[in-house]
Amino acid sequence: MKKPKVLVTRQVANEAIALLEPAAEVKVWESDEPIPRERLLAEVEDAEAVLSMLTERIDEELLTRAKKLRIAANMAVGYDNIDLPACKRRDIWVTNTPDVLTEATADLAFALLMATGRRLIEADRYVRNGEWSSWSPSLMAGQNVYGATLGIIGMGRIGEAVARRAKGFGMRIKYCNRNRKEQAEAETGAEWASLETLLRESDYVVLLTPLTEETRLLMGEQQFSWMKPTSVFINVSRGGTVDESALYQALVSRKIWAAGLDVFQQEPLPQDHPLLSLPNIVALPHIGSATEQTRADMAKLAAANIVAVLEGRKPLTPL
């Protein structure tokens, strides 16, 4: 009996492929570059499962071609690249990879906060470019981290993990979330606040919401105007949650002090993007979960979800 076909849209950890091979014929797009759209559409026509990345749109066009598809397993927490209603109409499972990337992403968020607040990337360039000729009291002076006020927008698993790190730095923590998180409040001392209050009172603002219709362009001109001129904005959520033109203007006019960004509306970011012209920006290439161990765990969880569905069981992390 012929095994069902699984399409893996990027090279992933060998352990994940090993999980799939006993149950399926595995077709891997063996490149670090995204699979071309036309090739993706052709390959899914006879696939019963796809292990996808955020770079692949699982939309109406693709689903119309993928007559045999039973599961789309996204190797990410986010799933704004997948048309959930269209999958539901076709009884196609959609899964993501929560939990396994929480701590790695929280590490990155806090590292980005510190690198931006203390001007670490700028200081590194200063030394490498041979500009360091003497010491002065104002040389690469940044903002305090220890004892500062941190505002977390989106107190999910990653937000709570960031709050735990902030507690170790003696930070006062405020958070904005649809629901109160009493356990997180008890554990970290975090205080619930409205978005406006959080933005007005925080020295650092970390955005960690998923991209939904409610959060699209959540941070715009009005929101940046509420922030302190010494405040630092960090985005480790999705690029679509921020009005980048408004952010650029806030940075140029010094309405806010600096920004650290791991995500952008267009990825990869064009080299002529206005934000890259600013010295008070730290820009990263969407590497929130990028540790070798975490990416392997994400791939294995996505593979385990696929195997469960192909064997007639419910997946581990269904959306």
User: Is 267 a catalytic site residue?
Assistant: yes
Between CA 73 and CA 48 the distance in angstroms is: 11
User: What is the architecture of the domain spanning 5-98+292-310?
Assistant: 3-Layer(aba) Sandwich (3.40)
How many Cα atoms occupy the beta-carbon half-sphere of 208 within 13 Å?
A: 30
Angle at 69 between CA 63 and CA 75, to 5 degrees: 90
Residue numbers in the chain where pLDDT is lower than 50? none
119, 165, 286, 295: the catalytic one is 286
pLDDT given at position 78: 87
Two tokens, residue 36: 């071309």
pLDDT given at position 286: 96
pLDDT tens figures, 278-312? 999 999 999 999 999 999 999 999 999 999 999 99
Q: What is the pTM of this model?
A: 0.91
Task: Provide the 3-class DSSP secondary structure of residue 191.
Answer: strand
pLDDT given at position 75: 97
pLDDT given at position 295: 97
267, 292, 295, 311: the catalytic one is 267
User: Is 238 a catalytic site residue?
Assistant: yes
- Residues 6+ positions from 38 with CB-CB distance below 8 Å: none
User: Domain residues of the chain, as ranges?
Assistant: 5-98+292-310, 102-283
User: Is 286 a catalytic site residue?
Assistant: yes
- In 10 A of CB 185, how many CB atoms? 16
165, 238, 244, 295: the catalytic one is 238
pLDDT given at position 32: 85
Cα–Cα separations (whole angstroms), residue 79 to 53, 56, 143: 9, 10, 35
Homologous superfamily, domain 102-283:
NAD(P)-binding Rossmann-like Domain (3.40.50.720)
As beta bridge partners, residue 191 has 174
